[in-house]
Amino acid sequence: MPRTKETAMPTLHYTTAAARTLACLEHGRRADAVKLRRVRRALDKLAVDPRHPGLCSHRYPGLPGHPHHRAWTSYVDQGAGAWRLFWTWDPADGDGQDRDGQDGGVVTVLLIGPHL
């Protein structure tokens, strides 16, 4: 029986701003359990597959304050007051190893918050 190559999951890294937003949703004055659950669900999907269809990920033309040429945005939720994840993805090198020595590359979550 032939072996199938498993898809490697990327490693998630967070900027200070993204980590601060998560902390505020959990413990801050404006803690919001529903929004936190939605953000975590979107982050779980992103960690498994940045191309997950439920995220509706697409390129973001220019993220203010972030000089990344290849920024992406993904849905956390929709409708009035919708939130998004803004991130970059450094796929694994040609040898299949990312800079941390794990397969799948690195996704850096730049911002978590309202749609810009």
Residue 3 lies inside a defined structural domain of this protein: no
DSSP 76-87: S--STT-EEEEE
CA-to-CA distance for 56 and 44, rounded, in angstroms? Answer: 14
Residue 4 lies inside a defined structural domain of this protein: no
Q: What is the CATH number of the domain that holds 61?
A: 3.30.2310.20
Number of other residues whose CB lies within 10 A of the CB of residue 82: 11
Residue 26 lies inside a defined structural domain of this protein: yes
* Average pLDDT estimate for 22-37: 91
Amino acid letter, residue 37:
R
The parent domain of residue 79 ranges over: 11-114
* Average pLDDT estimate for 85-97: 68
Residue 5 lies inside a defined structural domain of this protein: no
Note the pLDDT tens digit of each residue in 42-72: 999 999 988 899 999 998 887 777 766 678 9
Residue 86 lies inside a defined structural domain of this protein: yes
Would you state the pLDDT for residue 50?
A: 87
The residue with tokens 């498994």 is: 48
Would you state the pLDDT for residue 94?
A: 41
Would you state the pLDDT for residue 83?
A: 94
Residue 43 lies inside a defined structural domain of this protein: yes
CA-to-CA distance for 72 and 84, rounded, in angstroms? Answer: 10
Residue 96 lies inside a defined structural domain of this protein: yes
* Average pLDDT estimate for 8-29: 90
Max CA separation in the chain (angstroms): 56
Q: Return the beta strands (E) in the chain as ranges.
A: 11-14, 58-60, 71-75, 83-90, 106-114
pTM for the full predicted model: 0.79
In the chain, the number of structural domains is 1
